[in-house]
């Protein structure tokens, strides 16, 4: 790939890995799985050359993946974006469905955190009583 005055030289795979926190292996996997919204360019030696847009897109994909979106769903979303305007209703449906799953996960995690906070309080109280010289309490209720 030759540089023209309007074309930046691009980023090597190691630079993209460093900027995104993904491994080189993960970047290759994302490319094979069709998760990049534009084909990765290659230089004259066949090495991958990424653009800033690719890094920005990968950040979106990383956030979607971290939120629990399955790779096939990210691939479908990517395909929709790749096809351009005209499929916004399908993109919206996909995002609404995922939002519902994330909302459910948050509710489950909040419930779990409530239990954990309760247990932390119980054990802090027991330890505080022990250091005050009070008799040891016996915790009977499920640990």
Task: Return the pLDDT at 131.
Answer: 85
User: Are residues 30 and 56 located together in one domain of the fold?
Assistant: yes
Per-residue pLDDT, 6: 44
Q: Are residues 69 and 3 in the same domain?
A: yes
Q: Which pLDDT does position 21 carry in this prediction? A: 97
pLDDT digits (tens, 9 = 90+) for 81-99: 999 999 999 999 999 999 9
Q: How many domains does the chain have?
A: 2
Q: What is the pLDDT of residue 7?
A: 54
Residue 85: both structure tokens together: 């305007």
Is the same domain home to 19 and 80? Answer: yes
Are 10 and 68 in a shared domain? Answer: yes
Do 95 and 130 fall into the same domain? yes
Query: Is residue 126 packed enough to be buried (19+ CB in 10 Å), middle (13-18) or exposed (0-12)?
Result: middle
Residues 80, 107: one domain?
A: no
On whether both 26 and 72 belong to a single domain, the answer is yes
66 with 111, same domain: the answer is no
Last residue of a domain, one of 36, 55, 84: 84
Phi, psi angles (nearest 5°) of residue 84: 85, -160
- Regions of the chain short of the pLDDT cut 70: 1-8, 133-143
Provide the pLDDT for residue 136.
Answer: 55
Could you list the residue range(s) of the whole structural domain that residue 33 is in?
1-84
Residues 78 and 96 reside in one and the same domain: no
- Tell me the three-class secondary structure of 13-71, residue by residue: HHHHHHHHCCCHHHHHHHHHCCCCCCCCEECCCCCEEECHHHHHHHHHHHHHHHCCCCH
Looking at residue 135, what is its pLDDT? 56
Asked if 1 and 51 sit in the same domain, the reply is yes
What's the half-sphere exposure (Cβ side, CA atoms, 13 Å) at 108?
6
52 & 4 share domain = yes
């Amino acid at each position: 790939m030759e540089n023209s005055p309007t074309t930046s030289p691009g980023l090597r795979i190691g630079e993209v890995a460093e900027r995104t926190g993904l491994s080189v292996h993960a970047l290759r996997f994302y490319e094979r799985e069709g998760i990049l919204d534009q084909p990765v360019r290659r230089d004259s030696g066949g090495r991958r050359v990424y653009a800033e847009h690719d890094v920005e897109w990968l950040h979106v994909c990383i956030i979607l993946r971290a939120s629990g979106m399955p790779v096939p769903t990210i691939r479908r979303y990517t395909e929709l974006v790749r096809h351009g305007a005209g499929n916004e209703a399908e993109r919206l449906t996909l995002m609404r469905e995922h939002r519902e799953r994330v909302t459910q996960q948050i509710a489950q995690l909040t419930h779990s955190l409530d239990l954990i906070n309760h247990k932390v309080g119980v054990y802090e109280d027991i330890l505080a009583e022990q250091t005050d010289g009070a008799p040891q309490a016996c915790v009977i209720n499920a640990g």
